[in-house]
């Protein structure tokens, strides 16, 4: 899985609240994984899904997996195993303030806001600033929503927009 640091969040008034994922993968991978998890094992319960990703793991995530019932603990002896790995259980006990639209996003590429309507996908847009300041917050470029029950064509259209935005091309 590629690096692609991301945030998985829930809508929160005029912004979002979430947790950072160190190695999330490409938007195509993450949106497909979140859709799969929403359908099963979360059985279309977006509140349970948000609680798992955001509330129950205040340290955020090293990587994502496909079975939230499996062991999510960090293991110093086995840091690169398959599946979900968080930074707040096991050999690590980290907790961070929730990630919001005002957080330092210097090392974040993608934002996935999960709600009852689906997954809103945004990318960090730093404009022309080649020298990023620590503590900087980007403008989030909203690319669109993938609904929980979207067809493969609807998903492909949004992902084409995502790919174009990744390359700095207008779709």
Q: How confident is the model at residue 30 (pLDDT cuts 50, 70, 90)?
A: very high
Over range 85-111, report the average pLDDT. 89
Helix axes 27-39, 152-166, angle to 10 degrees: 150
Per-residue pLDDT tens for 68-80? 888 788 888 877 7
pTM over cut 0.85: yes
pLDDT digits (tens, 9 = 90+) for 126-156: 766 555 566 667 788 999 999 999 888 888 8
With beta carbons less than 8 A apart as the criterion, state whether 151 and 115 touch. Answer: no
Residue found under tokens 């470029």: 141
CA distance 34 to 89: 22
């Amino acid at each position: 899985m590629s690096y692609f640091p991301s945030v998985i969040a829930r809508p929160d008034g005029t912004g979002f609240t979430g947790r950072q994922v160190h190695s999330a993968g490409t938007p195509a991978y993450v949106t497909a994984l979140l859709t799969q998890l929403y359908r099963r094992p979360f059985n279309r319960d977006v509140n349970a899904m948000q609680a798992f990703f955001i509330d129950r793991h205040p340290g955020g995530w090293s990587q994502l997996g496909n079975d939230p019932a499996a062991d999510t603990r960090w293991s110093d002896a086995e840091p690169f195993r398959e599946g979900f790995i968080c930074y707040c259980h096991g050999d690590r006990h980290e907790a961070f303030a929730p990630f919001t639209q005002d957080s330092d996003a210097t090392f974040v590429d993608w934002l996935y806001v999960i709600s009852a309507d689906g997954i809103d996908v945004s990318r960090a847009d730093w404009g022309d600033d080649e020298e990023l300041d620590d503590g900087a917050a980007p403008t989030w470029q909203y690319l669109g929503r993938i609904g929980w029950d979207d067809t493969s064509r609807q998903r492909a259209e949004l992902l084409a927009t995502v790919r174009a935005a990744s390359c700095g091309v207008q779709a």
